[in-house]
């Protein structure tokens, strides 16, 4: 055999020997020699399911009402380009229906809102994107003056795209719920920005806990609720019912404080919430949310509203005409916002 061929044979033999040796020691090197049922424990805790999946509050419970009232009519506003749909409000509305009350929807005949309110006992407004007219604001105020109950809910501004993005002529513009004018009539102001809590939250810094800050029917049975996209509420002479837990911070100032997320007006016929997420089916059973929803349902049907309010135009003064809650009046000055 020539020298080159002999060298090739020697190299081949060495390669084969290396491969056979590697195959023999591989099971031991991988920790599975002779026992394929024993696996080495994983040391990195980020791979353990218990450390990857955050703990969650159990989602159970039942929405109940304490009131024995029956036959009240609750008008729900869906006529002001509301950012909350009828489906989103289903837990609250179903509870009312199951307890013998009627739900009606105001669907956008804005000049007829006051007429719709005359046959209602309570009014629910969630995240309206269109302003209430002066006549409508006057009508709602006459409605509450007559004993009607109003529930107002709204969250932070959302962001939507404006036209011309493809051409570089547009952008993103915030769209704020038009709750300010309606709430300010009763000395309630919705703040700007959103609330967050980096320490005490429900798996997300914007999913904050709110705790009771006062006694009363709205707070009855509530220890804490979860609100997932909340704004602070200030009230002039009213009652703070729920406030963010310790460490809650306002995005616009980065200041921590006990910010209210639910308040009741001084007269007691208006309740304002700085969130709409808590009432949806997805969140209705987080923490004590179902208890709060039941309390709000009780609030809506326990008023004693006089029939026929707001009165038709000219009812008090037949010689005058106009639209809205009553005779023509000078422009209303809103209640000063609380400092």
Q: Where are the domains of the chain?
A: 73-160+173-301
> Which residues, at least 6 apart from 49, have a Cβ–Cβ distance to it below 8 Å?
none
Q: In this structure, are residues 331 and 134 in contact, taking their beta carbons and an 8 Å threshold?
A: yes
pLDDT (mean) for 258-265: 96
| 101 vs 35: which has the higher pLDDT | 101
Q: In this structure, are residues 233 and 188 in contact, taking their beta carbons and an 8 Å threshold?
A: yes
What tokens were used for 179?
């709750």
- CA 183, CA 274: separation in Å to the nearest integer? 11
| 124 vs 169: which has the higher pLDDT | 124
Looking at residue 316, what is its pLDDT?
56
- CA 156, CA 6: separation in Å to the nearest integer? 83
pLDDT (mean) for 254-270: 95
pLDDT (mean) for 74-80: 94
What tokens were used for 98?
């199951």
Write down how long the chain is. Answer: 339
Looking at residue 327, what is its pLDDT?
44
Residue 330: which pLDDT band, with cuts at 50, 70 and 90? Answer: very low
- CA 117, CA 21: separation in Å to the nearest integer? 89
pLDDT (mean) for 309-336: 53
Looking at residue 6, what is its pLDDT?
54
Residue 210 pLDDT > 70, yes or no?
Answer: yes
Residue 202 pLDDT > 50, yes or no?
Answer: yes
Question: CA gyration radius for the chain?
Answer: 31
The position carrying tokens 């084969």 is 16
Stated pTM of the model? 0.73
- Cα–Cα nearest to 65, from 304, 301, 284, 303: 301
pLDDT (mean) for 22-30: 44
| 13 vs 231: which has the higher pLDDT | 231
Residue 108: which pLDDT band, with cuts at 50, 70 and 90? Answer: confident
CA atoms 12, 13, 15, 19: torsion sign: positive
Residue 160, H or E segment: strand 158-161
| Alpha helices (runs of H) in the chain, residue ranges in sequence order | 3-29, 49-52, 90-98, 113-118, 134-145, 180-184, 289-301
Looking at residue 312, what is its pLDDT?
80
Looking at residue 25, what is its pLDDT?
44
- CA 2, CA 7: separation in Å to the nearest integer? 9
The position carrying tokens 């009652």 is 239
Residue 95 pLDDT > 70, yes or no?
Answer: yes
- CA 230, CA 260: separation in Å to the nearest integer? 10
pLDDT (mean) for 213-241: 94
- CA 150, CA 125: separation in Å to the nearest integer? 8
Mean pLDDT, the chain, rounded, equals 78
Looking at residue 63, what is its pLDDT?
96
Enter the CATH code of domain 73-160+173-301. 3.40.50.880
């Amino acid at each position: 055999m020539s020298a080159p061929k002999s060298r090739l044979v020697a190299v081949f033999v060495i390669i084969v020997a290396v491969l056979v040796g590697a195959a023999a020691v591989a099971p031991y090197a991988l920790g599975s020699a002779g026992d394929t049922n024993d696996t080495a424990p994983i040391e990195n805790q980020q791979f353990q399911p218990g450390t990857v999946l955050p703990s969650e509050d159990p989602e159970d419970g039942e929405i109940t009402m304490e009131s024995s009232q029956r036959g009240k009519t609750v008008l729900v506003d869906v006529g002001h380009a509301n950012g909350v749909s009828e489906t989103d409000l289903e837990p609250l509305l179903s509870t009312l229906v199951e307890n013998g009350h009627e739900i009606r929807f105001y669907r956008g005949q804005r000049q007829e809102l006051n007429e719709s309110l005359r046959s209602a006992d309570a009014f629910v407004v969630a995240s309206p994107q269109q302003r209430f007219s002066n006549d409508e604001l006057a009508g709602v105020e006459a409605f509450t003056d007559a004993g009607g109950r109003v529930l107002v809910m709204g969250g932070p501004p959302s962001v939507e795209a404006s036209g011309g993005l493809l051409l570089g002529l547009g952008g993103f513009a915030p769209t704020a719920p038009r709750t300010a004018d309606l709430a300010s009539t009763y000395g309630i102001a919705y703040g700007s920005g959103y609330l967050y809590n980096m320490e005490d939250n429900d798996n997300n810094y914007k999913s904050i806990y709110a705790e009771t800050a006062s006694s009363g029917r709205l707070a009855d049975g509530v220890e804490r609720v979860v609100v997932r996209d909340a704004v602070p509420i200030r009230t002039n002479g009213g009652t703070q019912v729920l406030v963010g837990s310790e460490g809650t911070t306002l995005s616009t100032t980065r200041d921590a404080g006990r910010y209210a997320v639910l308040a009741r007006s001084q007269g007691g016929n208006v309740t304002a919430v700085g969130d709409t997420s808590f009432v949806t089916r997805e969140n209705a059973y987080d923490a004590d949310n179902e208890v709060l929803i039941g309390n709000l349902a009780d609030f809506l049907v326990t008023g004693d509203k006089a029939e026929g309010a707001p009165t038709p135009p000219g009812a008090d003064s037949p010689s005058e005409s106009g639209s809205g809650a009553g005779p023509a009046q000078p422009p209303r000055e809103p209640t000063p916002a609380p400092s």
